[in-house]
Structure 1
Amino acid sequence: MGKLKCFEIILADNKSVYHPGERVLGQVIVELKGDMKMRSLRIFMRGVAKVHWTESRSTGSRLGSYTEHFNAEVEYFFKRQVLFGGEISDGRDTLTEGRHEFNFSFELPMGGISTSFEGKHGSIRYWLKAEMDKPWSFNHKTKKAFTVISPIDINRPEYQTQVESSVEKTLCCWLCTSGPISITSRTDRRGYCPGESTAISAEFDNHSSRTVIPYATLYQTQAFFASGKSRIRRTKFTVLTGLPIAPGTRGSWDSQLLKIPAVSPSIINCCVMKVDYYVKVALHIPGAYNLTVHLPIVIGTVAYRRAQSYCFTQSRFYRETQAQFADMDFLPLPPPYRETITPPPPFEDPPTYAESVGGAVDLNDDDDDDGCNMGDLTYTPMYTYVYNYRPPPCDDHGEELTLSVAPPE
């Protein structure tokens, strides 16, 4: 890179996770081995939800097939600051040899932005990009992504209710009809954080002539929307397997725990994608279709508080922030992907985070193809994670189960 020895973005306190309404503070570090002329040094902060996938189409002729692209994009914000030089200038400002530290400060919107997400056919991504505008030369760039978590407090009453479902079927073999096989299953609540476990209770009635095996699986559904079409992808995570249930007998689970890994929170406030979760409780039936029930759950960002029920509107944080908002005239936010402007929920204890089970992604995009980028262009989302989750007390009926984590499909 010639005279440019170091060009990077450092976030204050090495912070990597932010919530709506927070300030993103940091420094752009420039280290030169000699004086360098430039028009300006700028930094940008951007938040974008982007979707893309392709589908093969047949022409119905000898020309064969072609590929159709589906794209959609929502820009949440785009902000910029000039750190050195002029906004619009033909001048040649000189940055002297040595190390330089340029402070920057941006404020995230209080509402209307979704949680960071990296999916198969799209992403919700937030990043900073610093750029040296150099005369008669390629611009130097450096980039750094960070995670934004839009709050979902699972302590709210709507996330504390149980989710229950049941199903029954009868097996037929030629002229013989067996007795019914049924599942009745429920979760202890509807909302969870990564690191917690959903407690599954179930009754399995097997009046058939076959031995069946119960199991439960955590699924994520990614839905992407573009050009009036959608693309769905399901990913299987943790799997729980129970003991076989012999013909003519009954089996039961009493609060069996299904661990939730470091997955993205549910995303319900973005118009180009949606992320949902459900627990599938099923019976494997040899020689027949499995019997299944789906229990929809919500993955949130504020851990479950066991000691006391939580009322957000009674908190001091809420009262003080609402008092500040009382004299402000907010314009209504357009649906469907924007949220009501509310302060993020308070934390009794500092939240802890873990890297997404999806792993790292490449930050290069269409604007980063000139070969003049510096720094680490990989990024891994960080999500709220409960490291010391204590499951609720439950009766142990002595059934042995196995637990495994399935790799993303």
Structure 2
Amino acid sequence: MSPIRNLTLTCDRDGPFSEGDAITGTVSFHLTKETKVKSASVKAKGDAHVHWTEGSGDDETSYTAHRRYFKDKQFFVAENANDRVLPKGSHHFKFSLKIPSESMPSSFKGAHGHIVYMLEAKISRKWRWSSTVKKELNFLSKSVHTISRRVCPQSGSVNKKLGVFSNKEVQMSASVNRDVCSPGDTLSAFAKVCNSSSKSMRFKFSVLQKTVFRASGSTNTSSNVLFKAVGNTVGPKSEATCSCNIKIPTSAIYNMDNCEIISVEHVLKVYLDISFRVDPEVVFPLVIAPSSSTSPDEEVEPSPFGAFGAPSYSDFPAGSGVSQYPAPVPTQPANPASGYEWPQNAPSYGFSAAALAYQPEVQPPSYTSLFDDCQGAVERSDLDQKRT
């Protein structure tokens, strides 16, 4: 039985640690008797590793990549010395290790890889198994703090014909009030559609996390749904608007672009779910960073809404007409077009009072003021139908 008991590794602070920081602490253990020790040390290291397989049987191919970011080691019993005899009793050794100042990625664990920063203490004896203890460090790269503190709205639009020989089309424009946020933040997204087709469709909003693993010139991509919500139904030959409060989970991973073999990015998708058709969508890049990088005190500059010339976000109640659902388990792949049903008793158009996140003092403008061109087209279409 080993005379080394209660080997522990304690840091003076829990972290998170970043580039250039010192890791200080104490290695402690108790000896039940006088013991010869070959060497004793503590080391810190940071590594990124990815691995996955494709195919099966004889066609199975494995992909592996590894990156070592740093390693620092300190001996409290020299390795090249003759066996040192340590007396019976409790022992405590202070240590101080340095993290290099070069940019390194944050701690990460994913489906096909991880980035781990580890602290390890080891006591070696001749002809005996070594005694070791490990402690994982929480590492947050300084690169995530370099993101601009200025957050800006984004907007976009899409037109889609339904049918090769049809002149009936769907026009949708969408906008989000910021492009940089933090875990736990709430974004405001807005969308409106002019549907001159004979198809019904529904608004949908989702936030996706895309992780790319790279090895041997190949890539493996996984997508997780962080948020999903379903809005009102838009009937044939009609127009509608919808706004949504988008809650970023507190467990969301920060964007990462300073690792050669693993990268993480996020997008916000606003789209229309149309049966048996490719869904029209507007996709916005979204940066998730620590709160210090996304100060709410920064002024947000307005930007054009898109082809429809929509009003500002403050004119519409965030969350109107949107039913929010829990996101799938993070390890599940994203599937934005399935799995969520709009309640049967919800109204077909406009805003659902039951789904309001809050009731603002400013009332939404009329649809006529929002869709002058589109409204006129729909009214003329209805008039032509009555004449015939």
Q: TM class by shorter-chain length?
A: 0.7 to 0.9
The answer to which of 103-112 and 125-134 deviates more is: 103-112
Among 163, 170, 179, which residue is 1:190 paired with?
179
Give 1:6-405 correspondences, 5 Å limit.
6-13=6-13, 15-56=14-55, 65-83=58-76, 85-89=77-81, 91-151=82-142, 152-153=144-145, 156=148, 160-172=151-163, 177=166, 179-254=168-243, 256-303=245-292, 304-308=294-298, 395-396=316-317, 398-405=320-327
The answer to which of 201-210 and 132-141 deviates more is: 201-210
2:203 and 2:273 in contact (8 A); partners too: yes
CA 1:37–1:200 in 2, change beyond 3 Å: closer, same or farther? same
1:283 and 1:290 in contact (8 A); partners too: yes
1:18 and 1:148 in contact (8 A); partners too: yes
2:119 and 2:136 in contact (8 A); partners too: yes
For the residues of structure 1 that align with 2:63 and 2:322, how far apart are their CA atoms? 47
2:184 and 2:249 in contact (8 A); partners too: yes
In structure 2, what is the equivalent of residue 406 of structure 1?
A: 328
Deviation at 1:29, TM superposition (A): 2.0
The answer to which of 228-237 and 286-295 deviates more is: 286-295
SS for the counterpart of 1:208 is: coil
Which protein shows a greater Rg?
Answer: 2
For the residues of structure 1 that align with 2:299 and 2:101, how far apart are their CA atoms? 26
In structure 2, what is the equivalent of residue 367 of structure 1?
A: none
TM normalised by structure 2 equals: 0.75
TM normalised by structure 1 equals: 0.71
1:190 and 1:296 in contact (8 A); partners too: yes
After superposition, the C-alpha distances for 1:80-119 in whole angstroms (9 at most, x for unaligned) are: 0002x21312x22233333322211122222321111111
For the residues of structure 2 that align with 1:244 and 1:31, how far apart are their CA atoms? 69
SS for the counterpart of 2:296 is: coil
For the residues of structure 2 that align with 1:255 and 1:279, how far apart are their CA atoms? 12
2:203 and 2:242 in contact (8 A); partners too: no
Deviation at 1:291, TM superposition (A): 2.1
Deviation at 1:127, TM superposition (A): 0.6
For the residues of structure 1 that align with 2:146 and 2:187, how far apart are their CA atoms? 13
1:239 and 1:258 in contact (8 A); partners too: no
CA 1:309–1:32 in 2, change beyond 3 Å: closer, same or farther? farther
In structure 2, what is the equivalent of residue 318 of structure 1?
A: none
Hey, which bits of structure 1, 4+ residues long, moved more than 6 A? Answer: none
Q: Which amino acid aligns with 1:250?
A: E
2:268 and 2:283 in contact (8 A); partners too: yes
Percent identity reads 22
SS for the counterpart of 1:202 is: strand
Question: Structure 2 regions of 5+ residues with no counterpart?
Answer: 301-312, 333-388
Q: Which amino acid aligns with 1:87?
A: E
Deviation at 1:270, TM superposition (A): 1.2
Deviation at 1:147, TM superposition (A): 1.6
After superposition, the C-alpha distances for 1:194-234 in whole angstroms (9 at most, x for unaligned) are: 11122212222222222211111111111111111211111
For the residues of structure 1 that align with 2:325 and 2:146, how far apart are their CA atoms? 25
CA 1:292–1:393 in 2, change beyond 3 Å: closer, same or farther? closer
Deviation at 1:7, TM superposition (A): 1.3
Q: Which amino acid aligns with 1:239?
A: K
Deviation at 1:143, TM superposition (A): 0.8
1:117 and 1:124 in contact (8 A); partners too: yes
RCO higher in structure (CA 8 A, sep ≥6): 1
Q: Which amino acid aligns with 1:242?
A: G
After superposition, the C-alpha distances for 1:156-214 in whole angstroms (9 at most, x for unaligned) are: 26x522232222212239x7x37212321222121111111222122222222222111
SS for the counterpart of 1:65 is: helix
Q: Which amino acid aligns with 2:197?
A: S
For the residues of structure 2 that align with 1:210 and 1:258, how far apart are their CA atoms? 30
